[in-house]
Amino acid sequence: MTADCVVMGTNDATTPKRIKLRFPGHCLRCKRPLSAGDRAVHHPEAKAVECLGCVSLSPPLVGGLGAPASPAGVRHGARHEPAQVTDLSQQSDSHPPVDIGVPGASSRREYERRVAKRKATARKAHPLVGRFLAAFSAEPLAVSAWDRGAAGEELLGSRLDALTDFGVRLLHDRRPAGERANIDHIAIGPRGVFVIDAKRYRGRPEPRERSGGTALIVDGRDRSKLVDGVRKQGESIQVALTSNGWPGVSVRGMLCFVVADWSPASEAFVVNEADVLWPKMACELVVASGTLEQQAIEELHRLLAASFPIA
C-alpha cells in the first residue's frame, strides 16, 4: 500500500469502506487531491481511495442527467476533470461578465435596516437616553437572527468562491420570481446545479425516522421545513432550466450547517432527497467530476444569472 492510501478503520480485506484518511492522497476516479482527515471510500483490492464526491450520496433533487432531450455540451457517460479556467471578466466581449452577487448581502441589509429602526424607535420613546438604551441592551431575536444568517451566508460563500479555480460557477443571494425568500447560493459544476442553503444553527443535525418519512432534527428540534424550502428553490431552478432547453440537467439541494455540532464521526445524510452536510463536504460534492463540459457550465451560469436576479 502506498502512502497515498494509508487509512484508518479498514478491517475488511476486500469490501470498499468509508474511512478517514491519515495521509494525503488522490481520488481513484477524478484524481483530485485529498487531504489528511478527509473522508473517502477505501478500495482494498485496488489499494486506492475514492472521494465522496465520486460516490453519490443520493439521487438528484429534481431531474437527472439521464433524462431525454439533453442540451448541447452534455456528454452522457463522459468524465470531466476539474481544470483551471480564466475569470469571466477575461472572456469574450460577446458574453459580458456575470454579476455573481455578494453572499449574504440582502440579509445584511435587512439586519442593518432593523438595527436603524430599533435605534430610531428608542430615540423617539426616550429622547435623552434612547441612543444608549439601544446600543447597550440585548438585540431582540427578530434583529439578531438576520445578523447570524448573513454571517452564515458570508462564511459559506467564501468557501464556495474558491472553487472557481476548478471551473465551478457561482451565483449568490438570488431572488426567484414572485418569492420573498432568497436563494443563498447556486453552484454550477460538472455534476449539474446545486442549490445551497446556508444555515448557522447550533446543535447537532441528525435524521430521525417518523411516520411518513424522515425528519430533520437540529439540537432536538424538528427543522424539516428547511428541507421543504430548499426543495422548492430547486424546483424553481428546474422549471427555468426546462423552459430554456436544459431539461436533462441535474438539480440537487443542500442544507449546509456552517457552525453546527459536527463531530469527527459525523456523516452527511439525506432527508427527502436533500443533502444535509457541512461546508467542506458541500465543496467536495460541487467540484466532483461529472458529465457537464465547461462550455455547458458557462452557458448555464449565464442563463441562471438572468433568470434569478440579485436579491
The kind and range of the H/E element at 37 are none
Q: What residues does each domain of the chain span?
A: 3-53, 56-104+152-307
Those residues with Cβ within 8 angstroms of residue 229's Cβ, 6 or more apart along the chain or in another chain: 181, 197
HEC assignment per residue over 170-239 = EEEEECCCCCCCCEEEEEEECCEEEEEEEECCCCCEEEEEECCEEEEEECCEECHHHHHHHHHHHHHHHH
Q: Band of the pLDDT at 302, cuts 50, 70, 90?
A: very high
- Does 156 score more than 80 pLDDT? yes
Q: Averaged over 45-73, what is the pLDDT?
A: 49
| Euclidean distance between CA atoms 169 and 186, whole angstroms | 8
- For residue 136, what pLDDT is reported? 60
Pairing of strands 251-257, 192-199: parallel
In DSSP terms, which residues pair with 274 in a beta bridge? Answer: 253, 271
Is residue 310 a contact partner of residue 101, using CB atoms and an 8 Å limit? yes
- For residue 281, what pLDDT is reported? 94
Q: Band of the pLDDT at 91, cuts 50, 70, 90?
A: very low
- Does 140 score more than 80 pLDDT? no
Write out pLDDT tens, residues 196-210: 999 999 899 999 998
Count CB-CB contacts under 10 A for residue 17: 15
- For residue 69, what pLDDT is reported? 32
Among residues 295, 301, 300, 254, which one has the least CA distance to residue 278? 254
- Does 238 score more than 70 pLDDT? yes
- For residue 6, what pLDDT is reported? 36
Q: Averaged over 82-104, what is the pLDDT?
A: 63
The kind and range of the H/E element at 306 are helix 294-307
Q: Band of the pLDDT at 275, cuts 50, 70, 90?
A: very high
The share of the chain scoring above pLDDT 70, in percent, equals: 77
Q: Provide the residue count of the chain.
A: 311
Angle subtended at Cα 222 by Cα 221 and Cα 223, rounded to the nearest 5 degrees: 110
- Does 2 score more than 50 pLDDT? no
18-32, 94-108, 187-201, 223-237: segment of lowest average pLDDT: 18-32
| Euclidean distance between CA atoms 256 and 129, whole angstroms | 42
